[in-house]
């Protein structure tokens, strides 16, 4: 009997504290409905999106899940019923296609970042040059697959403009997405690769990459990528998705995006 | 790391549900294959064995086409549950049941074929109903087949990758199974995490196969 009352004595204040905390939370979050949203992001934006999700989860009751992949693959998944609420692409075309096919909400498109492509060629003597790539085996140069990755598509066009022969270009190594290119160059599996500026910056920041600025040729002038986001029809009535969309243009979120090497429409490149 | 534990749990759940579903699905099928003289038997055998030779992408592609919300099956499911079968756990269960079907049917088939007809006839003469014969004669004789089928199905589902990539995507807590988590770690240069998961899977695969060979192996006989 004594044991039971002693137990109850400890339990009651604990219970009261829990109830008070719950009540306080309920008062503070009054009117804010907590929800979860799945954000499908282009591979190059993955690390930035994770940081943004963490920041937004701190200031709201919402929860966010980040699903990363190449833009083309994510768009195809969405058309096949993937349960995502927002799509953050690495181009303008795919979000527009989703709107045209009724999978995304018309008018919700916005450019959330302008990304930049670079040629990363570790160990090259002097500044990397596109034309000099032709001296390498095409198999030792890596790009994201142009068929479904916008950064790969931009790389492909840059090579074509540099008058590199079609035969050489056909032999180039194509992988699933831009993050994989960064990994393969970093690990020395290939000699050079077309990477996203953001992947290098976030990789250096978290210690997973060592990049010497002189090893990279930035291609801002002819390969800037307007990255567009769109609200998907599944997320139309999801407050968490709406909150994410609203926050994307706020100074604090823009600062997180800028920190990872992105620009915004109308801004000049500093490269 | 919590994400990885979620992937481990999801994988175990998927493999467990698939194995449990395949016991009742594969048993009558394997029994029919073992006992039937029908001309269509070889046809059914070939269909059941197809996942062994088909690239997982083929299966994944057809499942994607068949189960998406625009299709008949996927649309029906969507109207009833409000959820899409593609890129969902339920869709992965359907895919895994098809993908791992031969791993359950084939050991059971071999086991059932080894059950002597005279034993069943004797049981019938003694008044055992077909249900009694199944529960008291066939099942005890076939327990090694069930063990093999169960372990192989579970292990094969744990190792599933191509099908999940095609029609499951990479949704944490829903379709992000172990193999997908490893792939993502490699893609994002997180080799340490990839090593931990990959080594865990290697040990698990070895133990599963060792269990099968240790307890069945060359002594894989139902009746001695």
Q: Cβ separation of A183 and B86 shorter than 8 Å?
A: no
Q: Return the pLDDT at B1.
A: 54
Task: List C-alpha distances in Å: B69 to A43, A79, B57, B83.
Answer: 26, 9, 20, 9
Q: How many inter-chain contacts (A to B, CB under 8 Å) are there?
A: 60
Q: Cβ separation of B187 and A77 shorter than 8 Å?
A: no
Q: Return the pLDDT at B184.
A: 86
CATH of A115-218, one of 3.90.79.10, 3.30.70.270, 3.40.47.10, 3.40.190.10: 3.40.190.10
Fold of B2-219: MetI-like fold (1.10.3720)
Task: List C-alpha distances in Å: B32 to B38, B107, B139, B157, B222.
Answer: 9, 14, 15, 24, 18
Q: Could you read off the pLDDT of A206-228 as tens digits, one per residue?
A: 888 888 888 999 887 666 899 99
Q: Which helix (H) or strand (E) holds A178?
A: helix A178-186
Q: Which residues of B touch A47 (CB under 8 A)?
A: 188
Q: Quick one: closest CA in A to B176, which residue?
A: A67
Nearest CA to CA, how far is B6 from chain A (Å)? Answer: 13
Which member of A69, A83, A182 has the closest CB to residue B88?
A: A83
Q: Cβ separation of B187 and A82 shorter than 8 Å?
A: no
Q: Cβ separation of A209 and B188 shorter than 8 Å?
A: no
Residue B202's contacts (CB-CB under 8 Å, 6 or more residues apart) are: none
Q: Could you read off the pLDDT of B145-155 as tens digits, one per residue?
A: 999 999 999 99
Token pair of B224 as six digits: 């001695």
Q: In this prediction, does ipTM exceed 0.85?
A: no
Query: Hey, CA dihedral for B103, B104, B106, B108, is it positive or negative?
Result: positive
d(CA B85, CA B94): 9
Positions of chain A with pLDDT under 70: 1-32, 221-223, 268-271
Position of tokens 């999978």? A103
Residue A230's contacts (CB-CB under 8 Å, 6 or more residues apart) are: A86, A87, A89, A95, A98, A99, A104, A105, A108, A109
Q: Return the pLDDT at B212.
A: 81
Does domain A36-114+226-259 correspond to CATH entry 3.40.190.10? yes
- Chain A from 192 to 221: CB within 8 A of any B CB: 203, 208-209
Q: Could you read off the pLDDT of B122-146 as tens digits, one per residue?
A: 988 988 888 888 888 888 999 989 9
Q: How confident is the model at residue B217 (pLDDT cuts 50, 70, 90)?
A: low
Nearest CA to CA, how far is A14 from chain B (Å)? Answer: 27
Q: Return the pLDDT at A5.
A: 43
Nearest CA to CA, how far is B25 from chain A (Å)? Answer: 28
d(CA A136, CA B119): 73
Q: Could you read off the pLDDT of B154-170 as tens digits, one per residue?
A: 999 999 999 998 888 88
Task: List C-alpha distances in Å: A65 to A38, A83, B113.
Answer: 5, 11, 50
Average of per-residue pLDDT values in chain B: 90
Which member of B70, B86, B170 has the closest CB to residue A69?
A: B170
Q: How many Å separate Cα A157 from the centre of its chain?
A: 22
Q: Quick one: closest CA in B to A199, which residue?
A: B188
B73: left (phi over 0), alpha (psi -120 to 50) or beta: alpha
Q: Which residues in chain A are classed under CATH 3.40.190.10?
A: 36-114+226-259, 115-218
A80 touches chain B (CB under 8 A): yes
Secondary structure of residue A103 in the 3-state scheme: coil
A177 touches chain B (CB under 8 A): yes
Q: In chain B, which residues touch A (CB < 8 A)?
A: 64, 67-70, 74, 78, 83-88, 167, 169-174, 184, 186-190
pLDDT at position B188 over 80? no
Q: Could you read off the pLDDT of B74-131 as tens digits, one per residue?
A: 999 999 998 889 999 999 999 999 999 999 999 999 999 998 888 888 988 988 888 8
List the end-to-end C-alpha distance of chain B, in Å, as a whole number: 49
Q: Could you read off the pLDDT of B8-27 as tens digits, one per residue?
A: 999 999 999 999 999 999 99
Q: Where are the domains of chain B?
A: 2-219
**Cβ contact A64:A244 at 8 Å:** yes
Q: Return the pLDDT at B169.
A: 85
Q: What is the pTM of this model?
A: 0.81
Q: Quick one: closest CA in B to A68, which residue?
A: B170
Q: Which helix (H) or strand (E) holds A23?
A: helix A2-28
**Cβ contact B34:B112 at 8 Å:** yes
Q: Cβ separation of A77 and B188 shorter than 8 Å?
A: no
**Cβ contact A62:A55 at 8 Å:** no
Q: Return the pLDDT at A31.
A: 52
Q: Return the pLDDT at B124.
A: 87
Q: Return the pLDDT at B185.
A: 87
| Strand-pair category, A173-175 with A63-69 | unpaired
Q: Return the pLDDT at B7.
A: 94
d(CA A49, CA B188): 14
Average pLDDT over residues B46-65: 94
Position of tokens 């240069």? B189
Secondary structure of residue A194 in the 3-state scheme: strand
């Amino acid at each position: 009997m004594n044991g039971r009352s002693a137990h109850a004595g400890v339990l009651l204040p604990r219970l009261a504290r829990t109830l008070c905390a719950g009540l306080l939370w309920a008062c503070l979050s009054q009117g804010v409905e907590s929800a979860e949203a799945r954000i499908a992001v282009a591979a190059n934006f993955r690390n930035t999106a994770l940081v943004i999700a963490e920041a937004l989860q701190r200031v709201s009751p919402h929860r966010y899940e980040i699903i990363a992949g190449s833009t083309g693959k994510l768009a195809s998944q969405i058309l096949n019923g993937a349960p995502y609420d927002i799509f953050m692409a690495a181009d303008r075309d795919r979000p527009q296609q989703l709107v045209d096919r009724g999978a995304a909400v018309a008018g919700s498109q916005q450019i959330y970042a302008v990304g930049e492509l670079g040629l990363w060629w570790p160990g090259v003597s002097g500044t990397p040059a596109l034309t000099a790539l032709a001296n390498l085996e095409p198999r030792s140069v890596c790009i994201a697959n142009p068929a479904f990755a916008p950064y790969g598509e931009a790389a492909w066009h840059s090579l074509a403009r540099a008058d590199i022969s079609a035969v050489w270009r056909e032999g180039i190594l194509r992988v699933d997405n831009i993050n994989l290119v960064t990994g393969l160059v970093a690990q020395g599996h290939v000699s050079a690769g077309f990477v996203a500026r953001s992947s290098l910056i976030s990789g250096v920041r978290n210690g997973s990459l060592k990049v010497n600025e002189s090893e990279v040729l930035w291609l801002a002038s002819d390969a800037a990528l307007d990255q567009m986001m769109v609200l998907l029809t599944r997320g139309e009535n999801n407050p968490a998705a709406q909150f994410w969309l609203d926050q994307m243009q706020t100074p604090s979120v823009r600062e997180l995006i800028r920190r990872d090497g992105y620009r915004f429409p109308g801004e000049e490149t500093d490269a | 790391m919590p994400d990885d534990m979620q992937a481990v749990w999801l994988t175990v759940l998927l493999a467990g549900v698939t194995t449990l579903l395949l016991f009742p699905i594969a048993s009558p099928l394997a029994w029919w294959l073992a006992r039937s003289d029908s001309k269509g038997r070889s046809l059914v055998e070939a269909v059941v064995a197809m996942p062994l030779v088909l690239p997982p992408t083929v299966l994944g592609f057809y499942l994607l086409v068949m189960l998406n919300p625009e299709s008949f099956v996927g649309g029906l499911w969507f109207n009833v549950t409000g959820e899409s079968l593609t890129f969902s756990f339920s869709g992965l269960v359907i895919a895994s049941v098809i993908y791992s079907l031969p791993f359950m049917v084939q050991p059971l088939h071999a086991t059932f074929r080894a059950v002597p007809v005279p034993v069943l006839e004797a049981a019938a003469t003694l008044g055992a109903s077909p249900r009694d014969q199944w529960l008291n004669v066939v099942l005890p004789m076939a327990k090694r087949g069930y063990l093999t089928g169960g372990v192989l199905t579970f292990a094969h589902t744990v190792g599933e990758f191509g099908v999940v990539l095609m029609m499951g995507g990479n949704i944490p807590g829903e379709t992000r199974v172990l193999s997908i988590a490893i792939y993502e770690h490699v893609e994002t240069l997180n080799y340490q995490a990839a090593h931990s998961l990959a080594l865990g899977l290697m040990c698990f695969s070895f133990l599963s196969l060792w269990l099968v060979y240790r307890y069945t192996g060359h002594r894989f006989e139902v009746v001695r």
